[in-house]
Amino acid sequence: MSEFKLLINGELVPGALSMDVINPATEEVLASCPRADKNQLDQAVAAAKAAFPAWSATPIAERKKALLAIADVIEANAGDLARLLTQEQGKPIGDATMEVYGTAAFFRYFTSLDLPVKVIENSESRRVEAHRRPLGVIGAIVPWNFPLILMSFKLPPALLAGNTVVLKPAPTTPLTSLKLGELVRDILPAGVLNIITDANDLGAALTAHPDVRKISFTGSTATGAKVMAGAAGLLKRVTLELGGNDAGIVLDDVNPKETAPKLFASAFQNSGQVCIAMKRLYVHESIYDEMCDELAGIAEAAIVGDGLTQGTQYGPLQNKMQFDKVKELIEDSRQHGKVIAGGDTLDQPGFFIRPTIVRDITDGTRLVDEEQFGPVLPVIKFSTNDDAVARANASPYGLGGSVWSSSPERAYEIATKLESGTIWINKHADLAPNIPFGGSKLSGLGTELGEDGLNEFTQLKVINVAL
């Protein structure tokens, strides 16, 4: 394992402190990782602030060239990055490889966008223009479930818009971010990108830092509320992509055998550690028993193991805290429903839980009402479509949701009634860099991806000229 360094002002530097990174498939120490202290955080912010005037004045065409060069470097090192991602995060190597290439694709996508001056009015009396200007230093905070792809929701649009960045990965998955810093340090001018790590102890200081103009955060709703509070003192911009408890609604005209594999994939990708995973499934009573049986059969056949092992479909939970939480939710669900597949851990080291299906459970239980963020799916029976919609909307979360039917028209009617940032029909968790993404209610604030996501890293500046 190579030595890892922080990236501050264009230099690879050791941390003032250190911490161990654990491989969740073995529970063994994967690497010793540098850990920044408050002084190094301040240095990173100062470097970003100093680099901002020149970077923001750099023509957008040159900034695009830098993003394309980063994409090239990511692709050239895809094998090493994917292996490192699997070792620190746990996901199967095939999934990790797709994440790496997806990250490069997101960088490339943002180079297709521009920030042109828009003429709002050009009349005899006045000319009004809308300009998009960079904000300044951006604090980007990334979670542990998709360390690279979720970074690419933030870093490319922030840099394209002319901002400079301090990136803070999650403490349990810092290595791919640090490796990326090593790979791109010569592509960007010193200070434009800085990467620091912590043990969950620098987030508040980064959020409240007087020289940081915006925080882009992906993570839990509880932490998102703290970020918003920390940013409030200076009224700095925030984009918050937070927790979800996505509902899937399966209508009575669905073929369970054909649809169950798609539903299963929607719930169990990355062992359920996806903000927009299907986390509760409402199935019409007429097909409920058959659908439960189909889902249980898929779960029982699932191959769980080390992500580096050939044929593994589902890796471990990423960390012990999440592992213990999901085990607790499964045990609680036994009091309120029936576990018909999975529900157990593997008899070996690692934070492994087999894909779990729970039936005969309903709203008001922890597994249905809370975000499990793990490989367990409650399947809930409903009688009328209006009842399913009401129960889906009763959640305080509103990130995503889906409706499944052999009639897209029927599904569309229900989709219009659901209270979430994104509703899919006959699919779930379909994201693309050109499609805006954001949550409602407790699931977040602001938008990522697409032109809307780029604009979130800018200040609207109106120039109004008398003619």
| CATH number, domain containing residue 45 | 3.40.605.10
Residues 269, 202: one domain? no
DSSP strand pairing (376-382 vs 6-8): unpaired
Local structure of 107: helix, strand or coil: helix
383 CB-contact burial (10 Å; exposed 0-12 / middle 13-18 / buried 19+): exposed
Residues 206, 65: one domain? yes
Residues 77, 207: one domain? yes
Residues 176, 291: one domain? no
Residues 409, 452: one domain? no
Closest CA to 355 of 300, 308, 278: 300
Is 241 noted as a catalytic residue in this protein?
A: yes
| CATH number, domain containing residue 306 | 3.40.309.10
pLDDT of residue 153: 98
Do the domain assignments include residue 110? yes
Do the domain assignments include residue 390? yes
pLDDT of residue 1: 66
DSSP strand pairing (126-134 vs 118-122): antiparallel
Q: How many domains does the chain have?
A: 2
pTM: 0.97
The one catalytic residue in 88, 241, 448, 456 is 241
Q: What is the DSSP letter of 442?
A: T
For 292, the domain range is 246-432
Q: What is the CA radius of gyration of the chain?
A: 23
Residues 355, 374: one domain? yes
CA atoms within 13 A on the CB side of 78: 18
pLDDT of residue 61: 98
Do the domain assignments include residue 197? yes
Closest CA to 174 of 421, 7, 387, 401: 7
Residues 197, 52: one domain? yes
The one catalytic residue in 33, 88, 99, 275 is 275
Residues 66, 196: one domain? yes
Integer Cα distance of 459 and 115 in angstroms: 11
Residues 199, 302: one domain? no
Mean pLDDT, 10 residues at a time, the chain of 467 residues: 92 98 98 98 98 98 98 98 98 98 98 98 97 98 98 98 98 98 97 98 97 98 96 96 97 98 98 98 98 98 98 98 98 98 97 98 98 98 98 98 98 98 98 97 97 98 97
Do the domain assignments include residue 305? yes
Do the domain assignments include residue 111? yes
Measured CA distances, 75 to 262, 363, 437 (Å): 29, 45, 25
